[in-house]
Amino acid sequence: MKNPRVGMFGLVFLFTCWMNAFTSDAKRTEHIPGIPPDVVASYIHSIIQADRTIYSSFIVNRLHENKILDANEAWEQTNSLLLPAQFLQKSGRLVAEHGTGIRFRLISLWPIYERNGPVTDFERKGLKAVENNPDQPYSGVIQSGKISFFQAIYADQAVTASCVNCHNTHPLSPKRNFKLNDVMGAIVITIPLPDK
Ligand code: HEC
């Protein structure tokens, strides 16, 4: 830079533009209306579903096919990979620890473990509804103490034979006649609603 004043002016100009970019962004977001909770739930569901698919196909299946490492329910004791269901439940617990109030888990009317069964009437109804109509999530507002939550229940289907085989042969499974594409359970997503 030949003239240091021009250089300085340039820097100040750039800095002002940079600051403006932030303040105008802040102003803009104030006018954006709230995103409806069913839309937020569908955003969260699409991410969970993508992670579930990527983990199952690109990690578990790939390492199995290449004879590198298998998934095993007793992954901690056997130095194996977590099952996809364990991956989902574990990430759900981690998200719950973050204190945002958002929760998700995998549930079923025929759970291998009772803790994965429905805990409310709403969840039981939702599981039945998505079993009959897997393309349509079941959702509504529930009350827990003084806090209202939006809850959405999305069908979890037997997309591969391994879902069916493992659940039909698991010693603790109460249902042993799952077929390919059956609804085996659901992903339930819970979002706290702001105070009115
Ligand atoms: C190798 C065995 C295995 C395979 C394969 C498997 N699961 Fe599971 N699944 C389990 C186990 C074990 C649990 C319980 C995990 C826990 O909560 O600790 C479980 C949990 C679930 C649950 C929650 C209810 C319950 O049974 O406890 C659903 C729903 C579910 N699996 C659906 C599926 C679907 C859909 C697939 C295929 C995409 C699949 N599973 C593949 C073993 C398996």
Whether ligand 1 lies within 6 angstroms of the CB of 180 is answered as no
Cβ of 80 less than 6 Å from ligand 1: no
Range of the domain at 71: 36-192
Atom of ligand 1 at shortest range from CA of 73: 12
- 36-83 residue pLDDT tens: 999 999 999 999 999 999 999 999 999 999 999 999 999 999 999 999
Closest C-alpha residue for ligand 1 atom 29: 185
Q: Confirm whether 9 is domain-assigned.
A: no
Confidence at 19, pLDDT banded by 50, 70, 90:
low
At residue 32, the pLDDT reads: 79
CATH number at residue 128: 3.30.450
- Tell me which of 22 and 122 has the higher pLDDT: 122
Portion of the chain with pLDDT greater than 90, in percent: 78
User: Comparing 127 with 10, which gets the higher pLDDT?
Assistant: 127
Query: Residue 11: inside a domain, yes or no?
Result: no
Q: What is the pLDDT of residue 1?
A: 46
* 118 CB within 6 A, ligand 1: no
Indicate whether 30 belongs to any domain: no
The tokens of 185 are what? 């359970």
Closest Cα to atom 3 of ligand 1? 166
- Asked if residue 127 belongs to a domain, the reply is yes
Please indicate, yes or no, if residue 24 is contained in any of the structural domains.
no
The answer on pLDDT for 7 being more than 70 is no
Question: What does the alpha-carbon distance between residue 194 and residue 149 come to, in Å, rounded to a whole number?
Answer: 9
Ligand 1 probe mutation, 52, 116, 127, most atoms within 8 A of CB: 116
Output the six-digit token pair for 84. Answer: 């996809």
Please, which pLDDT band fits residue 12 given cuts at 50, 70 and 90?
low
Alpha-carbon torsion (44, 49, 54, 56), positive or negative: positive
- The predicted pLDDT at position 31 comes to 76
- pLDDT for the residue 113: 98
pLDDT of residue 59: 95
70: region left, alpha or beta (phi > 0 left; psi from -120 to 50 alpha): beta
Please report whether residue 125 resides in a domain: yes
For residue 17, is pLDDT > 70?
no
Cβ neighbours around 169 below 10 Å, total: 9
Mean pLDDT value across residues 160-185: 96
Ligand 1 atom closest to 158 (CA): 35
Give the Cα separation of 100 and 34 in Å (integer).
17
| Total domains present in the chain | 1
The answer to whether position 10 is within a domain reads: no
Q: 150 CA to middle of ligand 1, Å?
A: 25
Judge whether 3 lies within some domain. no
